[in-house]
Amino acid sequence: MSQIKKEDTEFQTTMLSEPKSRRSALKAIGSGMTVAALSGCVGIRKPKQVIQTYTKESDIIVPGEPTTYATSCNINGQVNGLTVTTHEGRPIKLDGHPHHPNNYGSSNAYIQAEIHQLYDPDRLKGHFSNQKPTQFNLIKKALSGIEKNESIAICHPPVRSLLEASLLKQIKARYPKSNFFEISPVNKDNQTAALLDATNTHGYLDYDYSSAKMVVSFDHDFLGNESDTLSSITKFIKYQNQFTFVSYSSSLTITDSKANAIINASIKSQEHTLIYIAQELAKTFGSAKAIKEINKHSFNKKHIDTKKTNELIKLLIDHRSQTIVSIGEIHSIEMHKIGLLINQLLNNINRSVRPIQLPKDLIRVQKFSSHASVIERLKQLIENKAIKTLISLDIDLSRFIPNVESSLKPINTFYLSTYKNRFTRLAAHVISKGHFLEEWDLLMSREGHISIQQPVIQPLYKSKSTIDILLALLNIPDSAYTYLKKEIRKRKLNETEIKQKGLHKNQAENVSASIKGVSLTKNKDNESYGLTLSVKPSYQLLDGKYTNNSWLLETPDPVTKLTWGNAFIISSKFAKKETLKTGDIIQIRLKTSDILKGPVIILPGQNSQTISLSYGYGKLTDSAFSNYGISADNLKSNANYEIASINKTNEFEALADTQMNHGLDEETLAASGIKSRIESILQIKTVEELNHTHKAHEPHSLFKELSYESEYQWGMSVDLNACIGCSACHVACQAENNIPIVGKEETQKGREMSWIRIDRYFIENDSNETTINYMPVACVHCENAPCEQVCPVNATVHDDEGLNVMTYNRCIGTRYCANNCPYKVRRFNFFDWHQKNPQSVKKDRIHLFDYFREPSKQTQKQFNPEVTVRMRGVMEKCSYCLQRISKAKINAKVNNDKSIIDKLQTACQQACPTNAIVFGDINNPSSDVSTKRKSKRRYDLLQYELNTKPRTIYLSKIKKTVWESQKTKETTYGYH
């Protein structure tokens, strides 16, 4: 469904080209004025300042009607096309650009949470020189005053901006002694380095799932934080039934939720396995050189699950040239090289595994070097006082270079920062950084697609962009916008295309590289087999970029279900050995003599030799929320550390998890309860089982059931085979429906407000492997809704289109409905969460018997005006995005166009990168959701038990047997 064929003028960009007609001039002026008027007024509801009315109404801005703009953004090197929904000049929601090949309309949690990032009231609001507020002009003067021969160091995140790339080149020309340092703590350096070594090209690996028959991954979270693009996730899901996916895993990831077999193995054991596989394959397929190279390494069989690995090798050989062996970033360069070798031996290169060269424009101005070596080099330059000027483009160097304070003093530092942090206190000049929704830019994705990044709101503060700084450094008088236009002309890009879609697709085939040969180095010590700490990027905070984003902080980690902080993930075996229980605080001393302290969480599927920790937590900025979790700032992300010792302290921390980890390992009673019911809740079945399943008895009601005869009947389907638990829907729902955050303590009490939750179940499969399974649950809109019958005040009722609707005004908050909801999807406002939020501010006008606080002015602008902001004491829940349904119905009626109904999407559905969620009219037999309802995989959660007749149906996850021993067992298994 992903691609929309028609040229949709809705996404057209404005103000890009100079106004050509009187009409468009008025348009531009009008929209500019709205933005000005709105950013000027303090409160949206009770404006205190004069609103300037339109003298001539703008065509594109109709009060009450949202306008959508196309833009794009770069999040840690991943470029995605976006559409921004704005209401009267306020952007309120971000979604994927339906045409952008990197995401085709889908998004992830980061994209969804970016809107919250824009309105963050803790952002740096002005510029500082020597800790005193100053004007940008003065800083600009200081920047342009830098002498040509001065040694300049510029630190920047991965460059995806063509403007930045071209400006950096000019800077190199103008300041010959300038050096650039690309700093990204969450990166793919090991993969890149291995590829560089093997192919001599700077690039990345592209997996072609469409032709694959067998996928084997080694701690590679390619559906999660190590995903290449959102489209690659979509593609994996699309073709997953064609291949078998085996995952070697030291700690479960969301990728493992799609694995057909999971082999629990520590990093070291995976290394041995990789060497073993490579040597076995080299015996048959390897050239003499390859054999020589791989024999530099040796393995020890006792670390390898030989039985399964041998079977796996057989399968790999059977499907030679149609397999993918992928290595996670947590593995060393050497292992990535072995991975490449295996792929080469299996004849996969440029078939199912394609090494792709980065577009020329994006190849760094300086040669590739890994994050660690960049930091090392910079550190030395700073310490040797070889740098006179340091320009940091939103990179807090104090995070990476410990004790940088003293050596930084003689350096003239310019720091473009979003927040106040340690480094702003050190830098001579601090410039407030804008958000990408306030700035012009031209981005190029790794795949070569060019997209525009256009501002949709005037900067909320006096912030400047990266481009502004670089322009100032080059003394170019252009604004970013003018420079952008020049760049577009210079590149001879199709202006109409860019203007209408905000996007120029790269039509040319990407340059693929060929592997010249893998050279390995003899391994030192593969025998040390101790306890390791693996540091992995966080699913919420990425590298710490979202450290102050309360939405993401409260989004449960898909695997641990922890919010507001991280924890050391340990296995139950290890916990038993050390007599630890979830929440106990331990102190870990690494062999590098770093000490970390924090709580543990016992998680099934965790390797007992591995303790995992997510990166990006701890106090990074001086802001309301940036102080949660265990800081791994002294360590690198995607790296393993040997542990010297572990001390149990007497402290305890109650973890704020949204799903208690009863069962499997902790409590036998709960475990047995879960085990007996999980079959009916998840209904994971093999294809054969699905073909043999008889339709279950339809329970019948003693009551006269409601009849639903209205024109539209809404329904949803959730494909559990597609869902990867990534939580994009979770954040999308939060943005769309003004869902407040409740904070750590309240989450710990179990009062989270999210309307959609992603249930995670660990199940032991037939081969004694712990699998991880996801099930998104929002209100299922039962036709026989148990909540409705018990509400004493008729606050929750059914409409004739099958929606179970909440009347907030009527609700008095007895919570009876929540008690009676078997799906437990109702959420109660125990407090006024907006007032309890630490970012709330004192009310402008205090009323007696009203409360004293209100959301910050910025947060107020973010609210979706089409959704009620709930007060305390009322119940709320998923409404199937009622506001979108109403709008679609009205538009369908006004335009007499039923296709508008077909295009209707809920917020969660729109965000979902795997199209797991489908919503629509079940009365229309040709709608997507109707097709899904006819699927063999369909089941209705708790329908058999309670006859609730849910409108949300589930499509069961498919079980695929990988191992021979299991297959023989299957045949004796009887169905009924």
Partner 1 sequence: MDIINEEIQRVPQVLGKKSFKKVTDIIAKPSESPAPKWWVIGLLGSMSLAALLFSLIGYLIWDGVGVWGLNNPVGWGFAIVNFVFWVGIGHAGTLISAILFLFRQKWRTSINRFAEAMTIFAVICAGIFPGIHVGRIWAAYYLFPIPNSMAMWPNFKSALLWDVFAVSTYFTVSLLFWYVGLIPDLATFRDRATTKVKRFTYGLFALGWNGSNRHWMNYEKAYLILAAIATPLVLSVHSIVSFDFATSNLPGWHTTIFPPYFVAGAVFSGFAMVLTLLIIARKIFKLEDLITIRHLENMNKFILATGTMVGYAYAMEFFMAWYSANQYEAFAFINRAFGPYAWAYWIMVSCNVISPQFFWFKKLRTNIPIMFVISIFVNIGMWFERFVITVTSLHRDFLPSSWDYYIPTWVDIMTFVGSFGLFFTLFLLFLKYLPIISISEVKGVMEIADPHYYDHHTEDKQ
Contacts to partner 1 by CB under 8 A? 659-660, 662-663, 667, 669-670, 673-674, 676-678, 681, 746, 749-752, 757, 759-761, 775, 777, 786, 789-794, 810-816, 818-820, 822-824, 827-832, 871-875, 942, 945-946
Q: How many residues does the chain have?
A: 976
Closer residue to partner 1, CB minimum distance, 172 or 751:
751
Instruction: Characterize the bridge pairing of strands 441-444 and 450-453.
Output: antiparallel
* Minimum distance of partner 1 from residue 487's CB (angstroms): 50
Is 131 or 672 the residue whose CB approaches partner 1 more closely? 672
Tell me how far, at minimum, the Cβ of 788 lies from partner 1, in Å: 8
Q: 887 Cβ partners below 8 Å, 6+ apart?
A: 866
Work out how close the CB of 809 gets to partner 1 at its nearest, in angstroms, rounded to a whole number.
8
To the nearest whole angstrom, how small is the minimum distance from the Cβ of residue 678 to partner 1?
8
> 111 by DSSP, 3-state: which?
helix
Is there a contact between 717 and 918 (Cβ–Cβ < 8 Å)?
yes
> Under DSSP, is residue 310 helix (H, G, I), strand (E, B) or coil?
helix
Closest distance of CB 944 from partner 1, Å: 11
Cβ contact 325:346 at 8 Å = yes
| Contact between residue 643 and residue 588 where contact means Cβ atoms under 8 Å apart | yes
Which ranges of 319-385 does DSSP label H, i.e. alpha helix?
A: 333-345, 371-383
φ, ψ for residue 124, nearest 5 deg: -65, 125
Structure tokens at 659: 């799903």
- Residue nearer to partner 1 on the CB measure, 86 or 829: 829
Helices 466-474 and 480-490 sit at what angle, rounded to 10 degrees? 80
Spatial contact of 248 and 270, defined as CB atoms under 8 Å apart: yes
- Other Cβ atoms closer than 10 A to 702: 6
**Exposure on the CB side of residue 915, measured as CA atoms within 13 A:** 18
CB 170 → partner 1: shortest distance, Å? 55
Beta strands 532-537 and 610-615 are: parallel
Nearer to partner 1, 15 or 946 (CB): 946
Give one DSSP letter per residue of 372-415, joined into a string. HHHHHHHHHHHHTT--SEEEEES--HHHHSTT-HHHHTTSEEEE
How near is the Cβ of 826 to partner 1 at its closest, in Å?
Answer: 8
Answer for the pair 179, 154: CB distance below 8 angstroms, yes or no: yes
Task: Return the structure tokens found at 855.
Answer: 């959301």
For residue 763, the cross-strand partners are 771
Q: Is 350 helix (H, G, I), strand (E, B) or coil?
A: coil
Q: Cβ of residue 777: shortest distance to partner 1, in angstroms?
A: 7
CB nearer to partner 1: give 148 or 824: 824
Q: Which is nearer to partner 1, 852 or 973 (CB)?
A: 852
What six digits make up the tokens of 225? Answer: 């934080």
Nearer to partner 1, 188 or 757 (CB): 757
Nearer to partner 1, 579 or 676 (CB): 676
- By C-beta, is 474 or 656 nearer to partner 1? 656
Nearest to 389 by CA among 184, 177, 182, 185: 177
Nearer Cβ to partner 1 (505/757): 757
From 532, 602, 538, select the one nearest 566 (Cα to Cα).
Answer: 538
> What would the two tokens of residue 372 be?
């660690």
Question: What is the closest distance, in whole angstroms, from the C-beta atom of residue 829 to partner 1 in the complex?
Answer: 7
In angstroms, rounded to a whole number, what is the distance separating the alpha carbons of residues 484 and 426? 33
Alpha-carbon gap, residue 864 to 91, rounded angstroms: 9
**Residue 15 or 674 with smaller CB distance to partner 1:** 674
Least distance (Å) between residue 119 CB and partner 1: 25
Nearest residue to 457 (alpha-carbon basis) of 65, 883, 67: 67
Residues 6+ apart with CB under 8 A from 137: none
**C-beta of 367 vs 847, nearer to partner 1:** 847
Q: Compute the least distance from the CB of residue 575 to partner 1, in Å.
A: 19
Minimum CB separation of residue 583 from partner 1 in Å reads 13
Separate counts of helices (H) and strands (E) for the chain: 33, 39
HSE at residue 341, side-chain half, CA atoms within 13 A, is 33
| Closest CB 710 distance from partner 1, rounded Å | 21
- In 741-780, the DSSP E strands lie at 757-764, 770-777
Query: Between residues 592 and 819, which has the closer beta carbon with respect to partner 1?
Result: 819
Q: How far apart are CA 317 and CA 214, in angstroms?
A: 10
Shortest spacing between CB 327 and partner 1, in angstroms: 33
Nearer to partner 1, 25 or 812 (CB): 812
